[in-house]
């Protein structure tokens, strides 16, 4: 009984590690004061280049993937895996190491889905890529993927815990993109261009 609780707490702490902030700090830049002010991979790529953006992306994905994988390897069950995934995701959104002011959670959510619904994530990422290529707006692609993920989880008959977890994550991703949604509706959301 203690193992799932311990894993959930450790998952939150792992999710709280601010990869983008650390990558920026290593380059002498506080990404919270640059570009969009977000600590995620998109802002890191825009402000510091695609290589550092990729490092941030992989780190944020790993934060979501590893806790869910650990729950499966320890055979703790679907509920514990879902709790670990949600905790890691919450850690990225509300990191204890940055006074609970974190990112939007898209990459960490992708890591959670990669471990929790590996076939489903292929569909979700496919939609993300298609929307991104068509609209050149990361926010719109992220919102599309977030809304689609719980639908895919239910459609592919993943465990109920995974489906509900993906719904909660999807809602939180949408809420974190409130400003982006306003700009999209006003036609003011910038297209994604990497820093040269």
pLDDT digits (tens, 9 = 90+) for 5-15: 999 999 999 99
pLDDT surpassing 70 at residue 195: no
* Count of domains observed in the chain: 1
Q: What is the rounded average pLDDT of the residues 142-168?
A: 97
Choose among 122, 16, 115: nearest CA to 69: 115
pLDDT at 192: 79
Q: Which residue, among 181, 180, 109, 182, has the nearest Cα to 148 in the 3D structure?
A: 109
Confidence check: pLDDT of 35 > 50: yes
pLDDT higher than threshold 50 for residue 77: yes
Position 191 scores a pLDDT of 84
Mean pLDDT score of the chain = 94
Task: Answer yes or no: pTM beyond 0.85.
Answer: yes
User: Which residues contact residue 142 at a Cβ distance below 8 angstroms, ignoring those fewer than 6 apart?
Assistant: 104, 106, 128, 173, 177
pLDDT 10s digits, 170-180: 999 999 999 99
SS3 29: coil
CB 11 within 8 A of CB 88: yes
116: domain range?
2-186
pLDDT at 74: 96
For residue 190, what pLDDT is reported? 83
Q: What is the pLDDT of residue 194?
A: 57
Is residue 39 in some structural domain?
Answer: yes
The 10s digit of each residue's pLDDT in 80-100 is 999 999 999 999 999 999 999
Taking residues 44-71, report their average pLDDT. 96
Residue 139's pLDDT is what? 93
Answer whether residue 193 is part of any domain: no
- Judge whether 195 lies within some domain: no
Q: Which pLDDT score is estimated for 196? A: 45
Q: What is the pLDDT of residue 37?
A: 87
């Amino acid at each position: 009984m203690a193992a799932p609780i311990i894993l959930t707490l450790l998952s939150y702490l792992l999710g709280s590690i601010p990869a983008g902030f650390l990558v920026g700090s290593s380059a002498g830049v506080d990404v919270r004061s640059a570009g969009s002010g977000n600590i995620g991979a998109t802002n890191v790529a825009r402000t510091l280049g695609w290589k550092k953006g990729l490092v941030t992306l992989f780190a944020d994905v790993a934060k979501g993937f590893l806790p869910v994988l650990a729950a499966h390897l320890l055979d703790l069950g679907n509920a514990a895996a879902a709790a670990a995934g949600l905790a890691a995701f919450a850690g990225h959104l509300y990191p204890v190491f940055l006074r609970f002011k974190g990112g939007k959670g898209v990459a960490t959510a992708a890591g959670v889905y990669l471990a929790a619904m590996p076939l489903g994530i292929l569909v979700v990422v496919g939609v993300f890529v298609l929307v991104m290529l068509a609209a050149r707006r990361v926010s719109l692609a992220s919102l599309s993927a977030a809304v689609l993920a719980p639908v895919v989880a239910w459609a592919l008959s993943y465990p109920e815990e995974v489906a509900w977890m993906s719904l909660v994550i999807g809602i939180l991703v949408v809420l974190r993109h409130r400003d982006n949604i306003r700009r999209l509706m006003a036609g003011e959301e910038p297209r994604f261009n990497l820093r040269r």
